[in-house]
Amino acid sequence: MLPVIALVGRPNVGKSTLFNRLTRSRDALVADQPGLTRDRKYGTGKMGDSPYVIVDTGGISGDEGGVEFLMEQQVRQAIGEADHILFLLDAREGCTGGDEMIAAELRRTGTPITPVVNKSEGLEVEMAAADFFSLGLGEPSAIAAVHGQGVNTLINQVLDTLPPVETPDEENKGTQIAVVGRPNVGKSTLVNRLLGEERVVAFDQPGTTRDSIFIPFIHDERPYTLIDTAGVRRRARIHEAIEKFSIVKTLQAIEQANVVLMVLDAHQGVGEQDATLAGHVLESGRALVLVVNKWDGLTPDQRVQMKEEIGRKLPFLSFARLHFVSALHGSGVGDLYQLVDQAYENAMRDMATPELTRLLELLVQEHQPPSVHGRRIKMRYAHQGGKNPPIIVIHGNQTQHVPNPYKRYLVGRFREAMKLIGTPIRIEFRSGENPYEGKKNKLTNRQIQKRQRLKRHVKRQDRKK
């Protein structure tokens, strides 16, 4: 097991900046705004002489209610998992009552602690750290996370206190599942229900989740990685820059995932933003499961109406499985694993070239492609060109002129014959090159003389008339 190092401190002291520095990434959202991080965020440390896991946490403010209370529960879980705690402090603000409260709580854990004085650029190291000796946690280390000053020395000092570990093989992240949807449709509640623990903050307030949280776990001896994402709403309603970055993170999570769980709210119906987000998923080519949440509170008539609305407003997602759950009570949630596995296996399936070619011949015989400029489009053979999504490459003549309705016909029949449920299919056409295209036929001297004689003969015939 890799050692776990947790970053703890008040809001806006630079924990996420240090997380990004240690992981050499931009995974954690960073802005000059307190309370940005709300969930635990895990990463693999890339700085230092040995591997480790780094955990970014939300700021501890001491508030006893609302989402801040749930954030602090996440922090305490991270502290309980940690082998070492980096207690971040702000050199510009000095030692505050909040720092003393956190220090008192950290001392009771018995976990090794290193006080880290951040934002010390431009200050003398001794002066920056002097104010924090009163916390009684040992000698503070002064760094500037945004510039990287002192970070490498700090992490190596911490790693020296931890037991050595062997470098692990490449981590098997398994099937990566992104949970997406509009704000407040129950994404975080569904993630917690799938994991069987309060892993992410779930609160009855739109926009609680701001970052994409990657959570690796094992279910029935099979590895998965759940990605809880921020809710995506219409651009006209987005006013904060933080929310714009959250949406970018959500779209990146869709691209990175193998399977997308798109969550719909059964009480709100299918909105314009649901259709837009579904379009992003379709363009990315990811396997998809449509999850209708809060299903338990509907009457039979409302359930029929919801199913009809999905078919009417999302007809382009007919390939996806439709599943109804109540994330709050857990009904139907356990069956999602089977649907995810089916969609992933279909997206990653190997298809033999002879089988695809025979199927193409049958489809062309059943329904011939249209003529272009009096010439028939010919399709000779097909083969697989990629996975996730499955790509079928068809070779022939004039295939660049295949109309969209015929493409949809081929996609539907290939999906039906190959039983590719839960994943979109892409078809690419390639035409053979004409070796004489662009070349002008050069006449010989004899052909030129014959042509001239023919022209003179035509002229004589015209004069006689």
Q: Which residues contact 248 (CB under 8 A, 6 or more apart)?
A: none
Q: What was the pLDDT predicted at 218? A: 85
Lowest mean pLDDT: which of 29-33, 438-442, 449-453?
29-33
The pLDDT of residue 172 is: 56
* 231 labeled part of a ligand binding site: yes
293 marked as binding residue? yes
Domains 175-348 and 349-464 share a fold: no
Contact 185, 293 (CB under 8 A): yes
354 labeled part of a ligand binding site: no
CATH fold group of domain 175-348: Rossmann fold (3.40.50)
CATH 3.30.300.20 fits 349-464, yes or no: yes
Question: 190 by DSSP, 3-state: which?
Answer: helix
CATH number belonging to the domain at 4-161, selected among 3.40.640.10, 3.40.50.300, 3.30.413.10, 1.10.3720.10: 3.40.50.300
60 is in an annotated binding site: yes
Q: 59 a known binding residue? A: yes
160 belongs to an annotated ligand binding site: no
pLDDT tens-digit map of 326-363? 888 888 888 999 999 999 999 999 999 999 999 999 99
For the segment 397-423, the average pLDDT, to the nearest whole number, is 90
Which of residues 92 and 66 earns the better pLDDT score? 92
Ligand-binding annotation for 212, yes or no, is: no
Burial 293-323 (b: 16+ CB within 10 A, else e): bbbeebeeeeeeebeeebeebbeebebbbbb
Q: Tell me: is residue 258 an annotated ligand-binding position.
A: no
Is the model more confident about 347 or about 72?
347
Burial class (CB within 10 angstroms; exposed 0-12, middle 13-18, buried 19+) of 89: buried
Q: Is 294 annotated as a binding residue?
A: yes
Q: Judge whether residue 100 has pLDDT over 60.
A: yes
Residue 141 among known ligand-binding residues? no
pLDDT category, 417, cuts 50, 70, 90?
very high
- Annotated ligand binding at 108? The verdict is no
The reply to whether 296 sits in an annotated binding site is yes
What pLDDT does 337 receive? Answer: 92
Burial class (CB in 10 A: 0-12, 13-18, 19+), 223: middle
Annotated binding residue 385: no
**What's the pLDDT tens digit per position in 295-317?**
887 889 999 999 999 999 999 99
What pLDDT sits at residue 251? 74
The answer on whether 119 is annotated among ligand-binding residues is yes
When comparing pLDDT for 38 and 370, which is higher? 370
For residues 33 and 155, give the distance between their C-alpha atoms in angstroms, rounded to a whole number. 26
Question: Cβ distance 58 to 74 under 8 Å?
Answer: yes
Quote the tokens at residue 199: 């892993």
The response to whether 187 counts as a known ligand-binding position is yes
Q: What is the pLDDT of residue 384?
A: 93
Tokens matching residue 130: 């002097």
Q: Is 15 annotated as a binding residue?
A: yes
58 annotated to a ligand binding site: yes
Q: Is the pTM of this model over 0.95?
A: no
| Residue 12 annotated as part of some ligand binding site | yes
**pLDDT at residue 236, as a whole number:** 43
pLDDT digits (tens, 9 = 90+) for 217-232: 888 888 888 887 766 6
Known binder of ligand: residue 427? no
What are the backbone dihedrals phi and psi of residue 261, each rounded to the nearest 5 degrees, phi first? -95, 105
Q: Domain boundaries in the chain?
A: 4-161, 175-348, 349-464
